Chains A and B, each alone.
Chain A
Amino acid sequence: MEARSLSAPAGLRRTRGAGDRAGDALLYGLTALAAAISLLVVAAIVWRVAAGAWPAIRVFHLGFLWHGEWNPVVDKFGARDLIVGTLVTSFGAVLIAGPVSIAIGLFLSELAPPSIRGLIGTLIEMLAAVPSVVVGLWGIYVLAPFDAQHLQPLLGRVFGWIPIFAHGGDQVESTVFSAIVVVAIMIVPITSSICRELFIGVPAELEEGAIGLGATRWEMVKTVIVPSVRGGIVAAVILGLGRALGEAIAVTQVIGNFIPLKLTIFAPGDTLASRIANQYQGAPSNLAVASLIYLALILLAITFITNFLAQRVVKRFERRSARA
């Protein structure tokens, strides 16, 4: 059928003339322009954000990064607690989501009966389709109360002697912990589907060889699958981290919007993205606006660094496995 469509297509002229050369050049020009614009957008975003933050950079310099006071009344701003909040929330989410995603990837590639593998995989990917604002809405009314009534007391009883799990006050719905759980739920689908692809990609002979030598399935996973896709797993986790860092809406709905941060995660907090989302529209002074854009610049830098690290890690693992 494809061959037939080739032999007699409507409108395909068969001789190359000047018009054709012009058409080729035009198409090349258009597509090159499109590609260039795509790259230009990246540069433009970085430049515009830096330009917008400049009034604040000029006033606060790099000290902005380690000063913690955010006081619009006296126009004194500092990002320290917001940076810490962002890192705590994101890394906390990855700590939960990473192992869970790997486990799910293994389940989908190894354990699930082939007949329902597709269905379950699709179901889990549908979780990725739920937008941030809906997860946040659900987080406020279903997850946060559940956290407050069941999870937090449980964790407090078992781990309460560790400072970061200490009791944070009677108000336990809008907390850093709620934000961590919400973000974890959001990054599990992406990370797990990448892990699943990775695990499926491991050659069957390697797996069968290990089983043939008498390994249990878990040992086979531990010694064959995971080492051969280690780089990919790390990349997947870092991808999830990148997503977690930039999460604004769901986080701002459940985190409590309060700084300075307490040591315990069962207390309210705030992150870079969440503060921008809350205060940008109504910032009372120009310096406040510029400081919020400065926060965006810091967020952008953290995202860049994370992406860059992911690339490096993938390259290093690729080199190592190529040598082996």
Chain B
Amino acid sequence: MTKTLKITLAAAAAVLVAATAASAESNGTTTSNGTTITGAGSTFVAPLVSTWTPALGSAFGYSLQYSPVGSGAGIAAVTSRQVDFGASDAPLTPDQATACKSCVQIPWALSATTVAYNVPGAPVHLRLSGPVIAKIFLGQITNWNDPAIAALNRGAKMPSLKITPVYRSDGSGTTYNFTDYLSGVSSDWKNKVGNSTSVNFPAGIGAKGSSGVAGVVSRTSGAVTYVDVAYAIQNHIRFAAVRNNAGKFLYPSLRRIVAAASAFPKVPANNEMHIVNPSKANPLAYPISTYTYVIVPQQTSHAAELRKLIFWALTQGQKSQYTAKLLFAPLPKNVLAASEKTLKTIHP
């Protein structure tokens, strides 16, 4: 028996040594005596947070640990104080705000949701309108060669291919943004489905996370989904040119996202903004744009660090070296002012 014992102990020691080696190497990028700030939530803003992380490390020595588990889970995590901050593309509902016990939501990034599709033979930026998109996701338009789609895309030969809508099966801020838009352009959608981070989609299949829906669309011919523009571009998935209220078919670009944001200059007291479906006075606006929020308890032990971190994100973090490639537009001045004002209310 001692022989077995010896072998077991030797194996355990070997594993321990290997693991220590692994941890030593992988910790090399962050400073060893910095503060660890934890966050969780939106997969939408995860690419941006990812590019911010090394900069925050070298600027302040912070080790930022962010879990992209979805906006819904992020709100739950910060509500139970499991993380220092939550990130969500969906603003807090009144019930969530109560449960979170004096949390504030601060818009800290601005981007857009694309309608991404995999249709061999379709144009690079298929033209779609709000009502048509709503009908697709309601299961009322079922084939890509439907006359309603053809009417918007004269000159394009659409294949006869079944449409498979793909939606987020987890609690998602992108779902909130998308259903916000659809509720505005289709009363049918508003009555039948509604607007939330988690809704009862009447047709299609579900996948978990932005990467999940992007993955399914990449693999499935005829699939269409809604996903943030950074993921669509990164994974070479085509996305639609959506018709805005001025009649123009636009796909997301920095200018068009900024145009959508400037269509809604007023910032309410709780910072909750809906910038979908701007009026026809904004011909350049992309209609499915959204702010994304960082959700922080007003009283937190990491108040000083969070204030520094979020202020950096609101100012330095908006610079094009971090944001342009991912198609995050810089925050407009009025929103920046509101965010900074809210930030000041955070205290230890």
Contact = CB atoms under 8 A, between A and B. Distances in A.
Do A and B pair up? The answer is: yes
B169 interface: yes
Given A170-B161, A174-B205, A279-B170, A69 B200 contact: yes
B252 interface: no
Size category of the binding interface on chain A: 20 to 34
Size category of the binding interface on chain B: 35 or more
Given A279-B169, A282-B197, A283-B76, A170 B162 contact: yes
B206 A281 contact: no
Interface stretch (B106-114, B188-196, B233-241, B325-333): B188-196
Interface stretch (A12-20, A41-49, A284-292, A307-315): A284-292
A283 B72 contact: yes
A257 B164 CA distance: 13
A71 interface: yes
A73 B72 contact: no
A72 B205 contact: no
B170 A282 contact: yes
Contacts, number: 96
The secondary-structure label for the interface of chain A is loop
Contacts of A70: 200
A63 to B, nearest CB: 18
B263 interface: no
Interface stretch (B216-224, B253-261, B298-306): B216-224
Contacts of A257: 169, 205-207
A74 B198 CA distance: 11
Nearest to A258: B205
A81 to B, nearest CB: 11
Given A170-B164, A170-B222, A256-B206, A282 B195 contact: no
B200 A171 contact: no
Nearest to B40: A281
A169 interface: yes
A288 B71 CA distance: 15
Interface string A239-257: 0000000000000100011
B205 A282 contact: no
Interface of A: 69-74, 145, 169-171, 173-174, 252, 256-258, 268, 278-279, 281-286, 288
27 contacts: A69-B200, A70-B200, A73-B194, A73-B198, A170-B164, A170-B222, A171-B164, A171-B205, A174-B205, A174-B216, A256-B205, A257-B206, A257-B207, A258-B205, A268-B204, A278-B206, A279-B169, A279-B170, A279-B171, A281-B69, A281-B171, A282-B70, A282-B73, A282-B170, A282-B198, A284-B198, A286-B99
